[in-house]
Amino acid sequence: MAGYSFDLSNRVVMITGASSGIGKHLARRCGESGAKVVLAARRTAMLDDVKAEIEAAGGEALAVAMDVTDEASTIAAFDAVEAVLGSVDSVVANAGVAIGGSALGMPMEQFDQVVAVNLRGVFLTAREAARRMIKAGSAERHHGRIVLMSSITASFIDGGQVSYSSTKAGVVQMGRTMAHDWANKGINVNIVCPGYIRTELNGEYLDDTKGQSLIDGFVRKRIMDIDVLDPTILYLCSDASAQVTGSIFTIDDGQSL
């Protein structure tokens, strides 16, 4: 994927969950593509490394504290961005948590946590982004881009993931409904459903017996590398995707076949 990019110059791009994993990686890629990158996470100290990397490469980045489950925190984060960089043009609602377990034994506080981050958090992020885009003239400029991160588990059954897969299925329908409702407001909303990607967060699981059993069940018997989403995310955040909204992009190397 090296060197592959869409031009994001003059765009302010917010990535939630940017402190680790896929969010951290995508923040770097958006910076390389010319974006002014907003790194959003609950703890800004964890964003220092990626912010420094983007700036060392000649880019511009801003770290903001944002708890996606909290409306006041979400609003404050967007306020902080506007005070420094102006209105956000593109948002990748990437923050998420995965807590596995059988529905029979899962404590309700764990279920509620997954729903709060993966569904409520995506809703609050997308809604506040849309409000700011509309205020900034998206209906005339047609510049608004919102990308919601779902998962192949929205339709692909992985045992013991009832809370996670249910929220990711909800994100798909949420995104399509928002795309419909905001189509005449100059905002495109699309949904990305990745398959299993190796990150520093899941490497240990993928290398153990249960993870290897999962991989052995895939038709290509492999896990995707972290850069597999780069072309799609950069495209959906850019002007190139002007006529694309309400679409679902499944990127899984055939894992759900």
Which residues are marked as active site?
A: 151, 164, 168
Collapsed DSSP state (helix, strand, coil) of residue 95: coil
CB burial of 82-118 (b: ≥16 within 10 Å; e: otherwise) equals eeebebbbbbbbbbbbbbebeeeebeeeebeebbbbb
CB burial of 43-73 (b: ≥16 within 10 Å; e: otherwise) equals ebeebeebbebbeeeebbbbbbebbbbbeeb
Residues whose CB is less than 8 angstroms from the CB of residue 40 and which lie 6 or more positions away in sequence, other chains included: 14, 15, 16, 17, 18, 63, 64, 65, 66, 68, 77, 95
Residues whose CB is less than 8 angstroms from the CB of residue 3 and which lie 6 or more positions away in sequence, other chains included: none
